[in-house]
C-alpha cells in the first residue's frame, strides 16, 4: 500500500516532467522547415533528457521491486530525488536554447550529478531499512554503474568550459551505459 503510493507519486512526477519538457519546444511562427531549424538543438537536448528520465524511471522501478518496507526517511529521500529531476526541464531548455553553450552544459551536468547523488542516498536509505544482508542490499551490489556515472559527470562539468560538445558526449555515454542491459554480468542487478 505505502510502496504503491510512493511508486504512483514518483511515476506521476516523472511523467509530468517528461511531458513538460516537450513544451519547451515552442511552436515557431513560420510554416516551413527553415522555421524549425533553431529548434533543432532544443529537440536534441529534449531527446537526451527524455532518455535520462526514462533511465531514472526504469531504475526506480527496478529498485522498488526489491523493496519490502517504506520508512519516513525513504519518503524524504525520494522527494529529494524528485526535486533534482524536476530541475531537468529548466536546464534542458537553457542548454537547447543556447546551442549547447559552456555554462548551460556545465549546469546540466551539475543537475545530473545531484540527481545521481540523490539516487545514491535513496538506495542507502533503503539498505539502512532492509539491512546490509538483505536481498535488496546484495542485489544493489557494488553499484559500479552509479559510481562511474558520478565520476563522468564530475569530469564533464569543468570540461564543458573547454569543449561543451565533449561534455555532452560524456552525458550521452553515461546514458548508453545505463541503457545496455547487464543482467548477465552482475546477476539479477537492481539498476
Rule CB under 8 A: say whether 109 interacts with a second copy: no
Q: What is the CA radius of gyration of the chain?
A: 18
Closer Cβ to a second copy, 116 or 160, answer by number: 160
- Cell 573547454 belongs to which residue? 162
Q: Which of 135, 179, 187, 188 binds a second copy (CB under 8 A)?
A: 179
Rounded to whole angstroms, the Cα distance separating 68 from 134 reads: 10
Rule CB under 8 A: say whether 40 interacts with a second copy: no
The answer to whether 110 and 120 are in contact (CB under 8 A) is: no
Rule CB under 8 A: say whether 150 interacts with a second copy: no
The answer to whether 118 and 84 are in contact (CB under 8 A) is: yes
Q: Which of 41, 44, 50, 186 binds a second copy (CB under 8 A)?
A: 50
Q: Which of 41, 44, 66, 97 binds a second copy (CB under 8 A)?
A: 97
CB-facing half-sphere around the CA of 68: CA atoms within 13 A: 9
| Residues between 51 and 70 that touch a second copy (CB under 8 A) | 54, 57-58, 61, 65
> In Å, how far are 2, 122, 145 from 174, measured between CA atoms?
32, 20, 9
Cβ contacts of residue 69 below 8 Å, gap of 6+? 2, 3, 129, 130
Rule CB under 8 A: say whether 163 interacts with a second copy: no
Closer Cβ to a second copy, 24 or 130, answer by number: 24
Rounded to whole angstroms, the Cα distance separating 129 from 21 reads: 34
Q: Which residues bind a second copy (CB under 8 A)?
A: 1-2, 5, 7-9, 11-20, 22-25, 27-28, 31-33, 36, 47, 50, 54, 57-58, 61, 65, 72-73, 75-76, 79, 82-83, 86-87, 89-90, 93-94, 97-98, 101-104, 107, 179, 181, 183
Amino acid at each position: 500500500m505505502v510502496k504503491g503510493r510512493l511508486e504512483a507519486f514518483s511515476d506521476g512526477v516523472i511523467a509530468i516532467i517528461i511531458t513538460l519538457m516537450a513544451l519547451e519546444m515552442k511552436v515557431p511562427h513560420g510554416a516551413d522547415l527553415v522555421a524549425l531549424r533553431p529548434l533543432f538543438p532544443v529537440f536534441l537536448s529534449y531527446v537526451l533528457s527524455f532518455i535520462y528520465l526514462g533511465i531514472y524511471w526504469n531504475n526506480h522501478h527496478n529498485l522498488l521491486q526489491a523493496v519490502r518496507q517504506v520508512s519516513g526517511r525513504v519518503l524524504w529521500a525520494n522527494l529529494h530525488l524528485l526535486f533534482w529531476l524536476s530541475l531537468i526541464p529548466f536546464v534542458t531548455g537553457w542548454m537547447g536554447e543556447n546551442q549547447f553553450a559552456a555554462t548551460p552544459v556545465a549546469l546540466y551536468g551539475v543537475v545530473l550529478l545531484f540527481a545521481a547523488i540523490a539516487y545514491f542516498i535513496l538506495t542507502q536509505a533503503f539498505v539502512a531499512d532492509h539491512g546490509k544482508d538483505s536481498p535488496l542490499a546484495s542485489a544493489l551490489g557494488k553499484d559500479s554503474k552509479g559510481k562511474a556515472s558520478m565520476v563522468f559527470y564530475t569530469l564533464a562539468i569543468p570540461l564543458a568550459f573547454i569543449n561543451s560538445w565533449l561534455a555532452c558526449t560524456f552525458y550521452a555515454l553515461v546514458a548508453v551505459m545505463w541503457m545496455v542491459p547487464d543482467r548477465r554480468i552482475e546477476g539479477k542487478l537492481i539498476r
